[in-house]
Amino acid sequence: MTTLATVLALLLFTFRPELAGAPHAWRRAPEHGAAGDSTHTLVVDGRTRTYLAHVPPGYDGHTPLPVVLIFHGGLSNAAVTVRFTGLSEKADQARFLAVYPSGTGRLARALTWNAGDCCGYAEREHVDDVAFVRALLDDLTTHFAVDATRIYATGISNGGMMAHRLGAELADRIAAIAPVSGPLELATIHPSRPVSVMHFHGTADPFAPFHGGTGDKSLASIDFRSARDSVGAWVRADACPEKPQVTPVAPAPGDPTRVHRETFGPCKDGADVVLYVIEGGGHTWPGRDPRVRFLGASTASISANDLMWEFFEQHPKK
């Protein structure tokens, strides 16, 4: 697929969210703090920013809940990411706040994050998305009871890159991260405390190549860091063993992908770094069907949602 065709396909995916099974409109909760879905607005550095919040049923408004921040990919948006990831359903099951921040861009629904060396409008305009997330977390506590020791970040592609940046630069607030198909795009990292990391990446990713460089369908003219280099930076930062324990995952029936887990740990202060290598996997969310073939194959042998939540539960901020 040519770059132009890729751009058109991504924009179609973004502006027709039903292709990802996304809802056409985000419902506002009946009141702040109530269970359900709500849209929130704040101003950071002179820009009006928004985020979506999903509160699980049974929330009493008083008991502090964990938070999972879920960052959309480049040229996408928060609303599409709700159904693309399925994390609101996981939030209902596991009882955490699922929060979907929105990036910035010239088009209201084709947004990006400044994750360091990437991407698009946010990087070119030097948008301080770390400051935005810090302000978002402050704002979140005015609406909901939040467990400050259990705030986590994940995201796909450019959103995964943003999760990496938050782990590196907002470790005083973020307990652990789980990027998906998004490499680290910072030259160096010096987190203020060891941060546990679970990274998912397909070896056939055409956008952010597993082995690094510029992918066949990449929209950014940069050489991405490889998945293993990204994980290696965290292994060094968290003072982990250099040699991982490698564990194969039993394949689901009919799944063309093969998955294995590389575990580096224990690391300093009980942190862990984990890489899920998805042989034949594309630029997709493990365990979810993207319903669009240009992103590549999605594995059915693991569920990113189940694995990351189990990982998050094991790694609160100390």
**Helix %, strand %, coil % of the chain (to 5):** 30, 25, 45
Contact 176, 311 (CB under 8 A): yes
- Over residues 9-59, the pLDDT tens digits come to 454 445 455 455 444 344 444 345 678 999 999 999 999 999 999 999 999
Contact 153, 163 (CB under 8 A): yes
- Over residues 104-152, the pLDDT tens digits come to 999 989 999 999 999 999 999 999 999 999 999 999 999 999 999 999 9
- Phi first, then psi: give them for residue 136, nearest 5 degrees: -60, -45
Higher-pLDDT residue of 274 and 30 is 274
pLDDT at 203 exceeding the cut of 60: yes
User: Strands 176-180 and 146-156, how do they pair?
Assistant: parallel
The DSSP bridge partners found for residue 76 are 111
Least confident of 75-89, 143-157, 216-230, 258-272: 216-230
Output the pLDDT for position 32.
Answer: 53
